[in-house]
Amino acid sequence: MPVEDSRDTASSETREAMMQATYRALQEHGYADLTIQKIGDEFSKSKSLVYHHYDGKDELLLDFLSHLLEQFETDTIDDEGDAADVRLEAVLDHLLPEAAEDDHLDFLRIMVEIRAQAAHSPAYRDHFTESDRLFQDRFADLIRDGIDEGVFREVDADRVASFLLTAVNGAMGRRVTADDEVIPAARAELDEYLEARLLVDDG
């Protein structure tokens, strides 16, 4: 017989509603000014449910990050039916779109702010170590597929994958903290890098 822990087992509908409230509160207030009260204000159900499930804003935000990662693990951006070079371009188009929409920029701002907490907080650092590892492994698997298919050269797939993630993270970070024009510029040079380093010459 499963034992219910009343603290941890919000119904999935309640948890989803709390995650959406967290996102709206982050959008509006940013990390520094966020409080669990402000998240409660965005919550459609009883505020006390939020306090019941989380001890403070960081506990809630760490669950919010886990929730995002669960969504990422089930996403289908990468269509494994295509050739690896086509798949890689599609993933980069998704991560570094030519013209980022407001929702995408809001999301990047939120992630840059939360990620910065990892500089001093081991719990946040553990999360981003895990999520970077997942992203990097997906890139590396895609690169190994391309090597097997003969469209990519015999590179160190993990190192190229790490560099792709570094460049993507760097471009996202600069976009929301400094430079409106950085994403298309980074994407163009990433394509130069991929062509010179990864793609097998056709001619």
Structural contact between residues 198 and 155, judged by C-beta atoms closer than 8 angstroms? yes
| Sequence-ordered strand ranges (E) for 42-182 | none
Q: What does the radius of gyration of the chain's CA atoms come to, in whole angstroms? A: 20
State yes or no: residue 125 binds a second copy (CB under 8 A): yes
Length of the chain equals 203
Residue closer to a second copy (CB basis): 29 or 47: 29
Which of the residues 58 through 97 are near a second copy (CB under 8 A)? Answer: none
- Residues 36, 57: contact at Cβ < 8 Å? yes
**Region of 30-38, 40-48, 59-67, 143-151 interacting with a second copy (CB under 8 A):** 30-38
Instruction: Map the footprint of a second copy across residues 132-161, applying CB under 8 A.
Output: 132, 158-160
Q: How far is the CB of 80 from a second copy (least distance, A)?
A: 25
Query: Which among 199, 189, 133, 128 is positioned nearest to 162, based on CA atoms?
Result: 133
Task: Return the ∠ at Cα 165 (arms to 76 and 22), rounded to 5°.
Answer: 65
Residue span 172-201 as binding mask against a second copy, x where in contact by CB under 8 A, dash where not: -xx-xxxx--x--xx-xxx-xx--xx----
Provide the minimum distance between the beta carbon of 100 and a second copy in the complex, in angstroms, as a whole number. 14
Interface with a second copy includes 113 (CB under 8 A)?
A: yes
Nearer to a second copy, 17 or 68 (CB): 68
CA dihedral 35, 37, 41, 46 (to 10 degrees): 140
CB of 186 closer than 8 Å to CB of 171: yes
Residues near a second copy (CB under 8 A) are 30-32, 108-110, 112-113, 115-120, 124-125, 128-129, 131-132, 158-160, 162-163, 165-171, 173-174, 176-179, 182, 185-186, 188-190, 192-193, 196-197
